Amino acid sequence: MAEKILMKGNEAIGEAAIVAGCRRYFGYPITPQTELTEYMAKRMPQVGGVFLQAESEVAAINMVYGAAGTGVRVMTSSSSPGISLKQEGISYIAGAELPCVIVNIMRGGPGLGGIQPGQADYFQATKGGGHGDYRNIVLAPNSVQEIVDMTIQAFDLADQYRNPVMLLGDGALGQMMEPVEFKATDTVPSIKAWAANGMRGRTQPNIINSLHLQPEKLEQHNIHLQQKYAAIQKNETRWEELYTEDADLILVAYGITSRIARSAMEKARSESYKVGLIRPQTLWPFPAAPFAKYAKTAKAFLAVELSAGQMVEDVRLAVNGVRPVAFYGRTGGMIPSPKAVYEQIVKTLKERGGN
Amino acid sequence: MPKPVFNEERCKGCELCTAVCPKKIVVIANRFNSKGYKPATCSDDAKCIGCALCAKACPDVVIEIHK
Amino acid sequence: MAEKLFSRPQSLKDVAFHYCPGCHHGIIHRLVAEVIDELDVRDKTIGVAPVGCSVLAYEYFNCDMFEAAHGRAPAVATGIKRSQPDTVVFTYQGDGDLAAIGCAEIVHAAARGEKITTIFVNNAIYGMTGGQMAPTSLIEQVTNTSPYGRNADSAGMPIRMSEMLATLDGASFIARVAVNNPANMAKAKAAIKKAFEIQINGHGFSMVEILSTCPTNWGMSPLEAAAWLEQKMIPYYPLGQFKAPEGVAK
């Protein structure tokens, strides 16, 4: 499929998963990601796959645990309140080191919140979310094409590191229609010698498990996980930067917000403000390196989010007090206009730009 | 002749086997295994009829019946 | 080597159980393992262990195993079976796991007619956490969280899971058995075998509820506990087959 077709973000995730070889999907309807669940209901039978509408998000993530443990590529998807319900299962999946892809098309919270776009699940996605010391790999696309590319990449990363990968989008990306191209993947499916898919001639049973009752063994397991996470940080951190080299002010935004920030940046550039943009494409591992670098040249940073300020904490950690880090966010499903972000740029430069 | 063989170290002395033996020859020994339990044993191998009820009642798979 | 009239089944690893003296889990483990051996399906069997006393069941069954989150074994088993339809998948769950925290998962796995087999061990108490009230604890039963005896006004009545699940069209085979005496053990094994066969033959969900003792947390000797099961549990939880596909004998 080389030609471009027009697709909605949510549906593009589904098709990309199928292109990536995912043939198992377990989910539960929730706005604003339901089109993905519906797409999988339609497509999975056409490709000989399994679609199952679970009784709850709790059940769906545990079905993912079962499927992933047998070695197949598997995905689930939900939106913020449903992702909260999945946290128990995600912790077990991380503990048992199972590869899977979890899609969160975020909406505003807390609680039932609303059904309009949000980015207030950043902490939950990147800092663990469930109990215990673990990390999800978190990918943050900002276009439908990137949704496709990152969904395919998510399955490869999950298999490579035996780790859950979360595709973190928002209601706006999920509903957005853009032309996309599905590039054939050249990934060779991993051999999963650890999978518990029936012994089938093996002499020793395989066990999928996150329980280690002896403290020495549990600590060793945690050390192993941390070493894996360090390798992921080293190898898989991704970001995009624009006009950063000469920037006095660097905007930081991911997902849908990065598109608004980019428009605001372009307006500011046309007004001769030296503004750049860093767009984390992996939220965990967070791209700390460019911040350390530009903290030496830029005068300030401005994080823009659809939250009360979550990613900004990682920006501050990365900048490490060398430069001021300002924040501008809207919540509740409100989306800032490029003009509003532009005004924040001017204000931040005036207050913290040093001129 | 059938004969019950006890893996005494695995026995927890629960006595469930003693209650099911039709010949009443499965009894608790007056000694301790290394776990501190008084293990089950057979008081008279010659009377064993090989019914395996003791083995089937054992929650710890302590007992084998040899032919 | 002497010929053996009775020995450990191959589907049970040769390791010591961690269970308390007289606990029926060990008997039930052995019966399940014997059935797996007799049906010659060990090579394609995948078991799912619960949270509860039998959390370590994955250390005991000599086949591929999963350890599930509390109550989620039927969902995990669903994911397994839907990914590997040629396997034989069973869950092994206690009463807290299946009838309390995992009630939704077991009901919907049964309703969907998942081709899995559930071994449900009902000992009317939470064992692993040290003797708290279970959804299946009997009225007036004293536990650490019903210290004055289970009171129906406050805690409700014990749940009969077999009868409840038998109402679902997706459930193919539901039976309640006990392992408190040799005759009941023989019936229990026959029911477990039937449940596995029903899965292998492509019918829907099958479950065997097994009444079991917990001498430690009931505060009785193993023999007293076996008698209590007979006198108190069986009258409230009648033994028998509640559902079977046509052509499967009672």
Q: Kindly report, residue by residue over A279-292, the tens digit of the pLDDT.
A: 999 999 999 999 99
Whether chains A and B touch (3+ CB pairs under 8 A) is answered by no
Domain C25-243 fold is Rossmann fold (3.40.50)
Give the domain ranges of chain B. Answer: 3-60
If you classify domain B3-60 with CATH, what class do you get?
alpha beta
Question: What is the interface size between B and C, counted as CB pairs within 8 Å?
Answer: 70
Q: Which of B22, B26, B2 is nearest to C6 (CA)?
A: B2
Listed in sequence order, the residues at least 6 apart from B33 whose beta carbon sits closer than 8 Å to its beta carbon are: B8, B9, B11, B39
| A274: its two tokens | 């030296």
CB contact under 8 A, C5 and B65: yes
Which residues on chain C are in Cβ contact (under 8 Å) with B64?
4, 6-8
ipTM exceeds 0.90, yes or no: yes
Which of C55, C60, C82 has the most A C-beta neighbours within 10 Å, making it the best mutation to test the interface with A? C82
Beta bridge partner(s), residue A100: A164
How much helix, strand and coil, in percent to the nearest 5, is found in chain C? 40, 20, 40
Nearest to A26 among C61, C79, C87 (CB): C79
10-residue mean pLDDT profile of chain A (355 residues): values are 87 97 97 97 98 98 98 98 98 98 97 96 96 98 98 96 97 96 78 97 97 98 98 98 98 98 98 98 98 97 98 98 97 97 97 69
Which of A50, A52, A53, A65 has the most C C-beta neighbours within 10 Å, making it the best mutation to test the interface with C? A65
Question: What residue in C sits closest to B58 (Cα-Cα)?
Answer: C27
Q: Which of A62, A13, A30 is nearest to A208 (CA)?
A: A62
Give the domain ranges of chain A. Answer: 5-236, 240-352
| B60: its two tokens | 């710890």
| A325: its two tokens | 């880090």
B28 interface with C at CB cutoff 8 Å = no
CB contact under 8 A, C182 and B59: no
Correct CATH for A5-236 of 3.40.50.970, 3.40.50.720, 3.40.50.11860, 3.40.1260.10: 3.40.50.970
A89 interface with C at CB cutoff 8 Å = yes
Q: In which element (H, E) is residue C87 found?
A: none
Q: From the DSSP assignment, how many helices (H) and strands (E) are in chain A?
A: 12, 15
Domain A240-352 fold is Rossmann fold (3.40.50)
Digit-by-digit pLDDT tens for chain C (250 residues) are 578 999 999 999 999 999 999 999 999 999 999 999 999 999 999 999 999 999 999 999 999 999 999 999 999 999 999 999 999 999 999 999 999 999 999 999 999 999 999 999 999 999 999 999 999 999 999 999 999 999 999 999 999 999 999 999 999 999 999 999 999 999 999 999 999 999 999 999 999 999 999 999 999 999 999 999 999 999 999 999 999 998 776 6
| pLDDT tens string A327-337 | 999 999 999 99
